[in-house]
């Protein structure tokens, strides 16, 4: 008798999942432990495991369709067996229209191959458009579909280089490179124009909302409306931290990993410092439980990572007990997983405190929205050179860093937030303290 494979509940907040890619086709043999499909949840893209031996006799949904948790996606049975009838999922896939996309993540690294199409060279003011020949659904990664939609490229005309002929980002980049070379060749032969026409860069967009973006929106609206935010800011001398980082990297960055080689980022150092400061002011490490306020025994430290669909917050467990090297290694591993959409739900949940850093973008000061379940979120700004007054009342060039804190006034008061920022300031201005 055939067994139904259902859409699993892969996170606490998940209600639907989008089937983005079939890893097994109808008629393929499957075994217990095989991965049969990739599903986009509200947090990440994850694989669906089969727990039966047999043959995949029926796929109940197409790539790109949303299926509610518990809805059937496939049937496993014996060869030649009829699949049971189930209610078809509602089609909610994004219509394939030509709408520009402004953000492209660098998460696919497949080796590009030359596409098997020929495209006439466009003039510099014309968009790259390849006429569609049919409406058949093709196998393509979600990122490849977005790029194709933004450039008006017909995926039916492209031969994919990914697994089972799946079209990936590199295949579309190969087209862009070929067209660019063709344009350059045409421009070299053509006479210089009398005037250069301005190319419009602003266009109306209707960007589909992913499951992850929906989840982010829901959580942040709940946090901002339910938690009464208050805001504090402190200015820190960033020179000692910059000098420590420079010295550590000069001595360690060129060593092989097996000999202790590592390169620390400002983010690594501020994550470690924020965990150390919580040891001094544990009242910041609390959460609102309705009838009680819970103080947590460990610092489960979340930090923001920007990806294509929004912001995710992976968690370093018991960060207060980990060395700078351990914090750095774990943060880098989690960042890679986040950008590849490989974070497991338990790697993004259960935080007690959050750090977000926009300093690398040149942002000097800002305030984050509190992560649900936390009492506060720390906002790290850029270290900026500017005139300061030193201990001798002299005006000199200094390096200042502004750090903001958003607090939940149900859980903590301004005094607790101020004590925490003062503890953090002392550690950042004497950074050797976090190494002992």
- Taking a C-beta distance cutoff of 8 angstroms, is the pair 348, 311 a contact? no
Would you give the distance in Å from CA 172 to the centre of its chain? 22
409 catalytic residue (yes or no)? yes
Measured CA to CA, the distance from residue 230 to residue 385 in angstroms comes to: 28
Say which of 229, 259, 296, 409 is annotated catalytic.
409
Burial group, residue 312, by CB count within 10 angstroms (0-12, 13-18, 19+): buried
Measured CA to CA, the distance from residue 433 to residue 436 in angstroms comes to: 6
Measured CA to CA, the distance from residue 96 to residue 154 in angstroms comes to: 10
Measured CA to CA, the distance from residue 306 to residue 200 in angstroms comes to: 28
Virtual CA dihedral for 289, 293, 299, 302, nearest 10 degrees?
40
Using left for φ > 0, alpha for ψ between -120 and 50, and beta otherwise, residue 279 falls in alpha
- b/e per residue, 394-416, with b = 16+ CB within 10 A? eeeebbbbbbbbbbbeebbeeeb
E strands, 127-251, in order: 229-237
Measured CA to CA, the distance from residue 334 to residue 337 in angstroms comes to: 5
Measured CA to CA, the distance from residue 60 to residue 73 in angstroms comes to: 5
Per-residue tokens: 166: 């799946």
Instruction: Cite the active site residues.
Output: 409
């Amino acid at each position: 008798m055939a067994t139904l494979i259902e859409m699993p509940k892969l996170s606490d907040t998940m209600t639907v999942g989008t089937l983005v890619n079939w890893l097994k086709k109808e008629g393929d043999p499957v075994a217990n432990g095989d991965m049969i499909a990739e599903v986009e949840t509200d947090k990440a893209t994850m694989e669906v495991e089969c727990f039966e031996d047999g043959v995949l006799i029926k796929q109940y949904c197409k790539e790109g369709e949303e299926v509610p948790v518990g809805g059937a996606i496939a049937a496993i049975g014996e060869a030649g067996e009829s699949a049971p009838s189930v209610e078809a999922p509602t089609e909610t896939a994004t219509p394939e229209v030509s709408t520009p996309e402004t953000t492209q993540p660098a998460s696919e690294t497949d080796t590009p191959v030359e596409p098997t199409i020929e495209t006439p060279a466009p003039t510099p003011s014309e968009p790259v458009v390849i006429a569609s020949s049919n409406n058949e659904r093709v196998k393509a990664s979600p990122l490849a579909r977005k790029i194709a939609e933004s450039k008006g490229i017909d995926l039916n005309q492209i031969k994919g280089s990914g697994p089972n002929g799946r079209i990936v980002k590199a295949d579309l980049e190969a087209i862009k490179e070929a067209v660019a070379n063709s344009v350059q060749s045409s421009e070299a032969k053509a006479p210089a124009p009398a005037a250069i026409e301005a190319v419009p860069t602003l266009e109306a967009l209707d960007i589909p909302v992913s499951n992850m973006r929906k989840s982010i929106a829901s959580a942040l609206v709940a946090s901002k409306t339910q938690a009464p935010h208050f805001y504090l800011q402190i200015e820190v001398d960033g020179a000692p931290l910059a000098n420590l980082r420079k010295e550590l990297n000069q001595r360690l960055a060129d060593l092989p990993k097996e000999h202790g080689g590592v390169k620390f980022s400002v983010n690594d150092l501020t994550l470690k410092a924020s965990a150390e400061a919580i040891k001094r002011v544990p009242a910041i490490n609390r959460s609102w439980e309705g009838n009680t306020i819970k103080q947590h025994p460990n610092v489960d430290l979340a930090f923001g990572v920007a990806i294509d669909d929004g912001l995710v917050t992976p968690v370093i467990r018991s960060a207060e007990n980990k060395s700078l090297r351990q914090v750095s290694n774990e943060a880098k591993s989690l960042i890679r997983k986040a950008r590849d959409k490989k974070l497991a739900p338990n790697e993004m949940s259960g935080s007690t405190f959050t750090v977000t850093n926009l300093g690398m973008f040149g942002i000097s000061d800002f305030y984050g929205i509190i992560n649900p379940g936390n009492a506060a979120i720390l906002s790290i700004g850029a270290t900026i050179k500017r005139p300061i007054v030193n201990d001798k009342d002299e005006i000199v060039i200094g390096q200042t860093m502004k750090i903001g804190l958003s607090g939940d006034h149900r859980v903590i008061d301004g005094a607790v937030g101020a004590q925490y920022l003062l503890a953090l300031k002392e550690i950042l201005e004497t950074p050797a303290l976090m190494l002992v």
